[in-house]
């Protein structure tokens, strides 16, 4: 399993970095359609759609919706992401109560739209900025930093469960550790970049920390949906890693929250 994970990562990482740093924004947007559509296909299974034609139809719907978002230049879709992730925190905290609110297929289908469209558009918004490749890398670093800080802090100090009915391994101490590590990263980036010419330090740090909290609950929300459906991995499309959703669940929250926050602050266009 470990060899498979390493081999898959060694293939995917250069492809992702190459797309980020060497593609123009329109081509980058097109390249990112593929993982999002695959994620939509996996989400259809989590929704409870069992027929291949139904899952393919939902994935196609997500793909066509991405085209509409691009055509409309729909920055407003990022606000929908903020609405969804505030709701997701409430639902994760309440699980296993209130499942009747989101378990119907029509509702989970709408949730999928609120997952995938803002996440994809957030990638596009970040990439189109001056130095956009580095902003994308920073947003990803927030996710990786949160995971790393949470892992070590959780192992060393973790006692109080963050969401025991969803993911028993995650602790409040781990969350604090992830926030602490990413706060250090954010301060360093703020002091080394021209971002403070347009926004204050506190605004930048607030957007970054909200994105980190979103990344944690992105992971928890997917775990909640999979647990409710009795699914371990979203698929087996990535050897050793499970499905695309299993790899991007944190990113689907962090990217649109960071991009939308920076737009609201006037730092991005």
* Whole-angstrom distance, CA of residue 252 vs CA of residue 140: 11
Beta bridge partners of 11: none
Going by pLDDT thresholds of 50, 70 and 90, the confidence category of residue 6 is: low
Task: Tell me which H or E stretch contains 170.
Answer: strand 167-171
pLDDT at 75: 93
Domain residue limits at 136: 2-265
pLDDT at 76: 92
**Is 235:209 a contact under the CB 8 Å cutoff?**
no
Specify the long-range contacts of residues 71-80, CB closer than 8 Å, at least 24 apart: 74/121, 75/121, 75/125, 75/260, 75/263, 77/117, 77/118, 77/121, 77/256, 78/118, 78/121, 78/122, 78/125, 78/256, 78/257, 78/259, 78/260, 78/263, 79/260, 80/114, 80/117, 80/118
Going by pLDDT thresholds of 50, 70 and 90, the confidence category of residue 32 is: very high
Cα of first residue to Cα of last residue in the chain, in angstroms, is 43
Does residue 121 have a pLDDT over 50?
yes
Decide which of 11 and 141 is more confident: 141
* Whole-angstrom distance, CA of residue 132 vs CA of residue 21: 9
Q: What total number of domains does the chain contain?
A: 1
CA 255 to chain centre: 6
Please count the other Cβ atoms lying within 10 Å of the Cβ belonging to residue 86. Answer: 11
pLDDT at 2: 42
Q: What is the pLDDT of residues 48-78, one digit of tens each?
A: 898 999 999 999 999 999 999 999 999 999 9
Going by pLDDT thresholds of 50, 70 and 90, the confidence category of residue 4 is: low
Using CB atoms within 10 Å of the CB of residue 71, give its burial: 0 to 12 exposed, 13 to 18 middle, 19+ buried: exposed
Mean pLDDT of the chain: 89
Does residue 181 have a pLDDT over 80?
yes
CA 43 to chain centre: 14
């Amino acid at each position: 399993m470990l060899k498979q994970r390493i081999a898959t990562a060694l293939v995917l990482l250069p492809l992702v970095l190459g797309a980020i740093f060497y593609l123009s924004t329109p081509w980058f947007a097109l390249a990112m359609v593929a993982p999002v559509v695959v994620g939509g296909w996996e989400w259809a299974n989590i929704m409870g759609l069992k027929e291949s034609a139904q899952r393919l139809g939902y994935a196609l719907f997500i793909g066509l919706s991405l085209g509409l978002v691009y055509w409309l230049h729909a920055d407003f879709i990022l606000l929908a992401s903020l609405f969804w992730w505030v709701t997701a925190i409430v639902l994760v905290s309440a699980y296993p109560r209130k499942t009747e609110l989101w378990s119907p297929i029509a509702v989970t289908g709408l949730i999928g739209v609120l997952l995938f469209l803002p996440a994809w558009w957030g990638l596009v918004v970040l990439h189109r900025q001056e130095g956009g490749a580095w902003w994308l890398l920073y947003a990803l670093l927030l996710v990786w930093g949160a995971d790393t800080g949470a892992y070590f802090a959780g192992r060393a100090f973790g006692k109080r469960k963050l969401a025991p009915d969803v993911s028993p391994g995650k602790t409040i101490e781990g969350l604090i550790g992830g926030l602490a590590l990413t706060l250090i990263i954010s301060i360093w980036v703020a002091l080394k970049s021209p971002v403070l010419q347009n926004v204050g330090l506190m605004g930048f740090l607030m957007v970054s920390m909200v994105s980190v909290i979103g990344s944690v609950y992105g992971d928890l929300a997917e775990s909640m949906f999979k647990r409710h459906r009795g699914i371990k991995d979203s698929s087996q499309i990535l050897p050793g890693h499970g499905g695309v959703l299993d790899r991007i669940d944190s990113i689907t929250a962090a990217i649109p929250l960071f991009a939308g926050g920076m737009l609201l602050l006037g730092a991005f266009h």
